[in-house]
Amino acid sequence: MPKLSVNVDHIATIREARKCREPDPVAAAVLAELAGANGITVHLREDRRHIQERDVKILRQTISTKLNLEMAPTPEMVQFAIDSLPDMVTLVPESREELTTEGGLNVAAKVNELEKVTSSLKIHHIYVSCFIDPEIEQIKAAKKAGASCVEFHTGSYCNAFDYGEDDMAWQMELDKIEKMAQMAVKSGLEVNAGHGLNYQNVHYIAAIPEIQELSIGHSIISRASLLGMNQSVKDMLGILEKTTSQASTVI
């Protein structure tokens, strides 16, 4: 069963809509942990549109599971990570114009630059992952850059599954993720996945044995706004457990 890291960015999005104190993403993270989440993910963006430095620092002192900091590979963010010491950093692309992360980091285009970033983080015992599209070139580049893990961007699969009219489209995307996960593991990398995963499309991704962790935010936070964090996290964990159990039975 893949582990579940709950992304609480959108709790901060609601807070920042009014520039006030609530709702608090730290409180949401604690509730997610109590419901069984294996980790907490936050993305400290350069424009600080949701998560703030304060949130990361307090999360580091508060949560008892794994803290995964998503960030752009810039000098400012690297220094912040070194100062705050999350358990894990996931290097992601970032554009101020985008509503959400639109694709994987092009590691192949900046291997030398990213090698310096990963080296700086690993010296401080921070586990480093690269958020990439499921492509051979990017897997090889992430390994060369010194990452210990890759997180596959699952947006294309999720969009094809949720909005496409052709079942073949999402099945092709799923097959690609599965094959690339196998290749990444053979390359000595751990494999995570995330982006766009929800209660309807997650089960096929969760059934891929090489994927160790799923980072899910928007769908859990959306459900939590209606049902509460406890129920929403448990509902997702239930799907992951059922999917893994069924896959084991088939094998």
Q: Would you please indicate which residues are annotated as catalytic (active-site) residues?
A: 43, 70, 195
* Residue whose token pair is 């099945």: 171
Q: What is the DSSP string of the chain?
A: --EEEEE-HHHHHHHHHHTSS-S-HHHHHHHHHHTT-SEEEEE--TT-SS--HHHHHHHHHH-SSEEEEEE-S-HHHHHHHHHH--SEEEE----TT-SS--S---GGGSHHHHHHHHHHHHHTT-EEEEEE-S-HHHHHHHHHTT-SEEEEE-HHHHHHHHH-S-HHHHHHHHHHHHHHHHHHHHTT-EEEEESS--TTTHHHHHT-TTEEEEEE-HHHHHHHHHH-HHHHHHHHHHHHHHHHHHHHHH-
Q: Cα dihedral sign for 10, 71, 200, 154?
A: positive
CB neighbour class for 174 (10 Å; exposed up to 12, middle 13-18, buried from 19): buried
